[in-house]
Structure 1
Amino acid sequence: MNLIGAWRRRQHERELLYGPKVLLPGGPEQWIEDSLDWLIGRFGVEPMRRRPALPSAFVPARYDGSERAARQLCLRVCAWMEVPDDRIRFSFRMEDVRAAGRSAAVHRLQAERPELIGISGLQATMTPAEVEALAAAGYAPEIAVLAERELAAEVRRSTALRDETDPERRAELYERAVAVWSAPAGSGSRAAWLDLRTGGHEGTAVMLSATTPADPAAVIAATAHELGHEVLWGYHLMDRSRPDAEAVTDLFAVFHGFGIFLANQAVERVPGRRSMRQSLGYLGERGASDALAAYCFRRHLLWPESLLPVMPTELDRTVRIRTFARLAALVKRAEIDSIQEGARLT
C-alpha cells in the first residue's frame, strides 16, 4: 500500500472540500488583506461600522421556510447591505428557469441553425409549450437572457467541433462539450445573478434554488453573495472576467458583516458526516474563516472592542477553530510589527 500516495490524495480531497475554489493571487492570506484594502478604498469603512449579522438575531423567530418568508429575508439582506431592491427580481425556481432557458436555446438552434443539429448534443428538457407557460408565469425576462446565453455558447461549441480537423484537438473539444451536455442546466449552483438589461429588460434578477428557502442561513449567504454581483458587476466596479471575481464577491459579503453565514455554509453538513460537495461560496471554509478573522481584526483596530463580538456560539465548530487560529496569527504579527517599529524609532 502506497501510504504517501494515499496521504497526498487525502490532502488533495481536503483542499478541494475546504480550500478556496479559485486561485487567489499571492496566496489566500495576502489576497484577503489586499482585497479588503481594495474594498475599503472603494467603499470606505462604513460597512464595517455595523456589528456583524448574527444568525440568532438576523433570522426572524417565525421564519416558516415559505417563499414569501424567504423573499422577505432577501429584502432584509438588501437593506442591511444598503443595496436598492426596487429593480431586483428575487425568485426561487432557478432550476426550472435555467432548464427553460436551455430548452428554448435548443428549440432555437433547431430552427435557426439546422446545420449544427447533427453536431450539438444539447438536450431540451422542456417542450416549447412548457417554456411558454413558465414565461407566462412571470419568468420571461430571465428565460430570454438565459436562452440567448445558452444559444451563443452552443453555437460556438458546435461550430468549433465541426471545423476542427485535428483528431486529438477535436476529441478534447468533444469531451468538454459532453461535460456540458450531460449536466443539467445550472447544476452545481444554488443561486445566480442575472443582468436582465443585456436582454433589453429592466433591472436584474437573483434566482435561488427551490430547496433554499428551507434553510434561512443558506438564503442569507446566497443573497449576500449575489448582491455582491449586483454592486460589483451591476455598477461595473470590477472586471467580471477576473479569475478571482467570484472570490471578491464572497469577500464583499464578509465585508458587509455576513462572514458567519458564508463560513458556516461553505461546506454542506450532512448528519453524521461532512459532505464532499461545496454548498455555497468560492472562498471555501478555510478562506471564508480567514476572511472573517481579518474582518474582525480590522474592526478591532478601527473601534476597540472584542475581537470576536458575541460570535463564538454562532460559528460552527470547525469554522470557530480556524477563525480563532487566524485571529491569533494576526494579533501576533501585529505585536511583532509594533515591537519592530518601536525598536526602529529608538
Structure 2
Amino acid sequence: MPDGTRQWIEAGLDRYLREFGEEALHGRIAVPGPEFVPPGFTATQEQTEELVARVAAVMGADADGVTVHLFESPPAELRRRHGVGRYRRVLGRTLIELDRLEAARPAVFTAIIAHELAHARLLGERRMAQGRADGERLTDLLTVFLGMGVFTANAANSFPRAAEAQSFSVLPVGDLTERMLTGLANEPTSRLGYLTEPEFGYALAYWSFLRGDRRPAWARHVNGGVRDTLTRGLRHLAARGGARPLNGRFP
C-alpha cells in the first residue's frame, strides 16, 4: 500500500479520535452473529428499524432521529451500478433509504446501514463539509472508528451470493488472492463501499493500535483478504513503534 494512503488513513483516524474522543474509540465492536442480526431476517420495516437501532447504538447515533425508508432496485440483470443506500436530511430528521434486495445478505445490509449512519454523524452533526472529494471514503473510515468496521470491511468485496454458501475464506499466499485460492477468480464480485479491502485492513490495524489492542480477538471475524492486510499492518505498526502522535489532519 502506498505510504500516502497509509498516512491518509492514520490522519483520518487521528482526527476522529480528537472529534469523538476516547470513549468512542474504546466503544463496542460489532461482529456478525445471531445476537446482532437475528436468524430469519427479511428486512421488514420493523426488523430493519430494530437493526438500525442496534447499529446506531454501536456508533453513538441518535436512532430516534432516524427515519427508515425501504425500496427495491430493479432485478440484478437489469442493473449494473446502483445505490444500495442513501442518506438525506428531511425536515430536520435523518432519512436513510435502503435497498431491501440486499437483505438476502444480512451482514452486507448491516454494512450499508453503518455507512449511512456514518453520514448522519459526519454531515448531520456538521463535522464534515458536504461535497468533499474524499467524503465517501472518510465516511467508510468512520465506520471503522465507531465499531462497525468488521461489517463494512467484509462487505467491501463480496463474492456472488451463490458462492457464499461455501461459508469459508482463506488467507492470501504471496501473489495468490483469496479469490484465486477459492476457485472464484473468474466469478463476478459485488463491490460495496469506497475503501478497498487493503485500505479497510490497514484502517482496522491502525484503529486497533490506537485502542492499545495488539492481538484483537475480533480479527477472526474479518474475511481472509482483509485479515491479511490487518495482520501485516499490525506488524508494520509494531516495527515502527506504535501509533503516531495525534498530530495528523485530513489532507
Shorter chain as denominator, the TM-score bin is: 0.7 to 0.9
TM-superposed CA distance for 1:268, in Å, is: 1.8
Kindly, what percent of the aligned residue pairs are identical? 29
Out of 263, 267, 292, the position equivalent to 2:204 is 292
Name the residue aligned to 2:234. Answer: 327
Give deviations 1:47-71, integer Å, cap 9, x for gaps: 1212421113652443432323233
Out of 190, 207, 219, the position equivalent to 2:97 is 207
Contact 1:89 1:203 in 2 (8 A): yes
Quick check: 41-50 or 307-316, which moved more? Answer: 307-316
TM-score in terms of structure 2 length? 0.77
Distance in 1 (alpha carbons) for counterparts of 2:29 and 2:215? 10
Distance in 2 (alpha carbons) for counterparts of 1:257 and 1:226? 14
Distance in 1 (alpha carbons) for counterparts of 2:25 and 2:34? 18
Contact 1:88 1:206 in 2 (8 A): yes
TM-superposed CA distance for 1:214, in Å, is: 2.1
Give deviations 1:195-253, integer Å, cap 9, x for gaps: 22xxxx34121111121222221122111111111111112211122111111111111
Matched, 1:273 2:184: yes
Name the residue aligned to 1:64. Answer: 41
TM-superposed CA distance for 1:308, in Å, is: 3.6
> Helix, strand or coil for the counterpart of 2:124?
coil
Contact 1:63 1:69 in 2 (8 A): no
Contact 1:94 1:207 in 2 (8 A): no
Out of 223, 226, 232, the position equivalent to 1:316 is 223
Distance in 2 (alpha carbons) for counterparts of 1:93 and 1:294? 36
Letter in 1 for 2:201: S
Query: 1:159-170 maps to which residues of 2 (within 5 A)?
Result: none
Contact 1:74 1:219 in 2 (8 A): no
Aligned residues: 218
Name the residue aligned to 2:125. Answer: 235
TM-superposed CA distance for 1:87, in Å, is: 2.5
Which structure dedicates a bigger proportion of its chain to helix? 1
Query: 1:35-46 maps to which residues of 2 (within 5 A)?
Result: 35-46=12-23
Query: 1:81-100 maps to which residues of 2 (within 5 A)?
Result: 81-93=59-71, 95=73
Contact 2:36 2:54 in 1 (8 A): no
Out of 258, 282, 287, the position equivalent to 2:194 is 282
Structure 1 residues 267 and 60 mapped into 2: Cα distance closer, same or farther (>3 Å)?
A: closer
Contact 2:72 2:99 in 1 (8 A): yes
TM-superposed CA distance for 1:43, in Å, is: 1.1
Letter in 2 for 1:239: A
Distance in 1 (alpha carbons) for counterparts of 2:11 and 2:43? 39
Contact 1:194 1:206 in 2 (8 A): yes
TM-score in terms of structure 1 length? 0.57
Matched, 1:255 2:145: yes
Distance in 2 (alpha carbons) for counterparts of 1:46 and 1:63? 33
> Helix, strand or coil for the counterpart of 1:36?
helix
Distance in 2 (alpha carbons) for counterparts of 1:246 and 1:60? 25
TM-superposed CA distance for 1:90, in Å, is: 1.1
Out of 67, 85, 99, the position equivalent to 1:191 is 85
Letter in 1 for 2:22: V
Query: 1:75-86 maps to which residues of 2 (within 5 A)?
Result: 75-86=53-64
Query: 1:162-181 maps to which residues of 2 (within 5 A)?
Result: none
Distance in 2 (alpha carbons) for counterparts of 1:60 and 1:236? 30
TM-superposed CA distance for 1:74, in Å, is: 1.2
> Helix, strand or coil for the counterpart of 2:10?
helix
Contact 1:91 1:206 in 2 (8 A): yes
TM-superposed CA distance for 1:38, in Å, is: 1.0
In our comparison, the structure showing a higher alpha carbon Rg is: 1
TM-superposed CA distance for 1:309, in Å, is: 2.6
Name the residue aligned to 2:169. Answer: none
| Cα RMSD for the two superposed structures | 2.7
Where does the alignment leave 5 or more consecutive residues of structure 1 unmatched?
1-18, 97-182, 338-346
Contact 1:77 1:224 in 2 (8 A): yes
TM-superposed CA distance for 1:276, in Å, is: 4.9
Structure 1 residues 334 and 63 mapped into 2: Cα distance closer, same or farther (>3 Å)?
A: farther
Contact 2:87 2:95 in 1 (8 A): yes
